[in-house]
Amino acid sequence: MSHPVFEPFSIGRLELNNRFVRSATWDATADETGAATDHSVRLYRELGKGQIGLVVSGYAFVSSHGQANPGQYGIHHDGMIPGMRRIVEETHRGGSRIALQIVHAGVNSGYLLRKGITLLAMSRLADMNRPHRQMTAEDIEGIIADFAAAAVRGRETGFDAVQLHGAHGYLMSQAISPLFNHRTDRWGGSAENRRRFHVEVVRRVRKAVGNDFPLMIKFGVMDDRAGGLTLEEGIEAAKQMVAAGIDAIEISAGVGQPAATAREGDPEQTPFRGRAAALRRQVDVPVILVGGIRTPETAESVIDSGDADLVSMCRPFIREPGLLLRWQAGDRSPAKCISCNRCFPIVSRGEPLECGEERRLREEGAGI
């Protein structure tokens, strides 16, 4: 008898063939306009064939002033739809469902910085040397509208869901964090005002896409820097987002990184498990745990404990898109990913995503 982690599960009306999620991953395969390429399509073809319950796309910027990196997907105008539709079709052909992740980088954009573009910030930051300006209320309203329009494009493209990127120090993290949001208007100051951006984005997106289209968020439920967002504030924000229309929450980092991560030593560390469990007790929508999951035993333990409803992985699916098929066939040995992070320098150089360790071994074998 299979474990529930390998059995069907639903997020709202979205039926998945198992509880595994491929966490959104910047793959650097888009062209200079943000459009998907043949390389993008090949990548998602392999992920779809891996029978992953839900594949979340690499983050797509909702407006040109929100792009974070080169090779990043765009969903900021209708011209992006044809390429994205190819990604959806290939993922579906393999048997997986797919969600579109949408993002605005705010001040966290090395790409726009290198282009000499002034970055948009929730507040002027005296200790930041990047050229930036505080957004006006009109700017904020415009970005909320951009999120809603991008979500509609995702639905029209054929994606099965949309996931807001509310983590990793991008604009949504900046809006809710007292480290980045020092505003004194309705968009900042108190905890209630700092979470207003999240709640309004969810509310507007939900209104735009309708009540039956799954809407998720990857949420940095707390910051890992002194003076940042607390877990208690993050949980309250999550509860309000659920009330506004969120269907599932993937727990990840906000501003800063947790002290213990899967990059340090034991690849089976799950640094966000306690946070996910704390949130799971407070909300009635599925909670997704990401980070450090490398064995079927760990995935099963997360579900058995009730700490989360689904498990999400990134790097293991870079090394082995067919990992779940191997586990289900009886080979339950750990993922071949060793958490070396060699895949990230590849992408940071603007090269298409692949396992850096696998490439190193291939080149050594070829005598390169």
In whole angstroms, what is the distance from residue 203 CA to residue 83 CA?
A: 28
Confidence of residue 1 (pLDDT cuts 50, 70, 90): low
Q: Which is nearest to 162 in space by CA: 120, 223, 208?
A: 208
Report percent pLDDT > 90 for the chain.
86
Amino acid at 176: I
- CB distance 309 to 290 below 8 Å: no
Give how far Cα 183 sits from Cα of 136, 223, 236, Å.
10, 18, 20
Residue 325 burial (C-beta neighbours within 10 Å; 0-12, 13-18, 19+): middle
Amino acid at 161: A
Report percent pLDDT > 70 for the chain.
96
In whole angstroms, what is the distance from residue 230 CA to residue 207 CA?
A: 29
What is the pLDDT averaged over residues 26-45? Answer: 96
Q: For residue range 267-308, list pLDDT tens digits in order.
A: 457 899 999 999 999 999 999 999 999 999 999 999 999 999
What is the pLDDT averaged over residues 344-352? Answer: 80
Q: What is the pLDDT of residue 259?
A: 65
**Chain length of the chain:** 368
Q: What is the pLDDT of residue 338?
A: 86
Residue 6 burial (C-beta neighbours within 10 Å; 0-12, 13-18, 19+): buried
In whole angstroms, what is the distance from residue 243 CA to residue 45 CA?
A: 35
Which range is least confidently modeled, 143-147, 169-173, 359-363? 359-363
Domain range list for the chain? 4-365
Confidence of residue 358 (pLDDT cuts 50, 70, 90): confident
β-pair type (119-121, 132-134): parallel
Q: What is the pLDDT of residue 367?
A: 61
In whole angstroms, what is the distance from residue 305 CA to residue 12 CA?
A: 22
Q: For residue range 175-217, list pLDDT tens digits in order.
A: 999 999 999 999 999 999 999 999 999 999 999 999 999 999 9
In whole angstroms, what is the distance from residue 24 CA to residue 101 CA?
A: 7
- CB distance 229 to 254 below 8 Å: yes
Amino acid at 331: D
Amino acid at 200: E
pLDDT at residue 262 is higher than 50:
no
pLDDT at residue 248 is higher than 80:
yes
Q: What is the pLDDT of residue 268?
A: 53
Q: In 3-state terms, what secondary structure has residue 28?
A: coil
218: which 2 tokens?
């990857």
CATH of domain 4-365: 3.20.20.70
306: which 2 tokens?
């009730």
Q: For residue range 154-167, list pLDDT tens digits in order.
A: 999 999 999 999 99
Dihedral over Cα of 258, 282, 245, 211: its sign:
positive
Amino acid at 73: Y
Chain-centre distance for alpha carbon 233: 20
Confidence of residue 260 (pLDDT cuts 50, 70, 90): low
